[in-house]
Amino acid sequence: MKKNVTIKDIARIAGVHHTTVSLALRNSKALRIETKERIQGIAVEMGYRANLIAQGFRNRRSNTIGILVPSIQHHFFSKFISEISELANQADYSMMVFQSNEKQSTEKRNIEALIDNRVAGVIASVSRETTDGSFFNAFNRENIPVVFFDRVPLNAIGAKVTVNNFQGALDAVNLFIENGRKRIAFITGSSQINVYHDRLDGYKHALLQGNLPCCDKYLIEGGFLLEDGMVGAKQLLSLPERPDAILAVGDDVAIGAIKYLKSVGIKVPEDIAVIGFDNDPMGIAIEPELTTIEQPVSQIACMVLKLLLEAIDSAGEPSKEVILNASILRRKSC
């Protein structure tokens, strides 16, 4: 492993006392410009650049907020970034956006980059691979406040803004039941993430309340793409007793399910009703238009930024947890 370069290492190469190096890295007026520039140049050549940046920002606040999301292509996250960027601009902050691509290793590298850039605060939603978020506490050690939203990890310091996904799934299943559906399937995502775990719990609770069976055969765990909805629907149709309703973990999955059902002659919603999550614009492009659980993205963005700016202004770490409500958008698929 490469040894971290220290001030004393730079002092030895520069032929000066380590106190002089410290003054140069802080851009002190006590040194001549030529001396400072020579020492700073040596520091950069030796790989001390990240520390040099940190020293330069240590005594003043950046006007940049970092955002870390699983994917900027997902409608929910892209809409959130658009909403919160506008709000941040109004508060005289710029945004630096990173995506983990659902990989914890990339997430960790993004955290290092955000710290190196001395952002004023961080807004984060974790990757599919992340359950224990203790590595996010690197921000706390650098006095950088964090607000998590949507997907929140365990063991991480920071405020949390989420949607009541339990209630959203429960409401969706209750709508199916109101419409006379009795064999309700769920094409879900990884249950280790709070969002999908809560939706699964809401689905199961609604079935229990409605005195309907919760069968493993009607639970399909997959991904979050249109193709996953098609695969899940195909698997459900292969059952001896196929479902008469499908709840999908996201709108892309729901749209994929509808596409497959229609391709094999199944009528939606007459034969099988479908409900998705997230209110993706493509939901109104498919026939029939998709009934979905809409998350209040504007409210989430407002609350996230409010909590983060409060923490930045008070030089404290936010710890509040806010849970917002989702709502059903009734269209034609249910």
- Report DSSP letters for 110-124, one per residue: HHHHHHHTT-SEEEE
Given 57, 72, 93, the domain boundary residue is 57
Domain assignment present for 2: no
Q: Looking at the structure, do residues 216 and 258 belong to the same domain, yes or no?
A: yes
Q: Looking at the structure, do residues 154 and 245 belong to the same domain, yes or no?
A: no
Query: Among 38-52, 146-160, 269-283, where is mean pLDDT lowest?
Result: 38-52
C-alpha distance from residue 293 to each of 43, 97, 187, 285 (Å)? 54, 26, 15, 16
Q: Looking at the structure, do residues 228 and 158 belong to the same domain, yes or no?
A: no
Q: Looking at the structure, do residues 154 and 301 belong to the same domain, yes or no?
A: yes
Q: Looking at the structure, do residues 51 and 94 belong to the same domain, yes or no?
A: no
Query: Among 4-8, 130-134, 181-185, where is mean pLDDT lowest?
Result: 4-8
Q: Looking at the structure, do residues 183 and 262 belong to the same domain, yes or no?
A: yes
Q: Looking at the structure, do residues 247 and 151 belong to the same domain, yes or no?
A: no
Q: What is the pLDDT of residues 100-124, one digit of tens each?
A: 999 999 999 999 999 888 899 999 9
7 vs 244, higher pLDDT = 244
CA distance 109 to 13: 30
Q: What is the pLDDT of residues 292-302, one digit of tens each?
A: 999 999 999 99
CA contacts within 13 A on the Cβ side of 315: 3
Residue 202's domain comprises 165-294
Q: Looking at the structure, do residues 282 and 270 belong to the same domain, yes or no?
A: yes
Query: Among 34-43, 206-215, 299-308, where is mean pLDDT lowest?
Result: 34-43
Domain assignment present for 38: yes
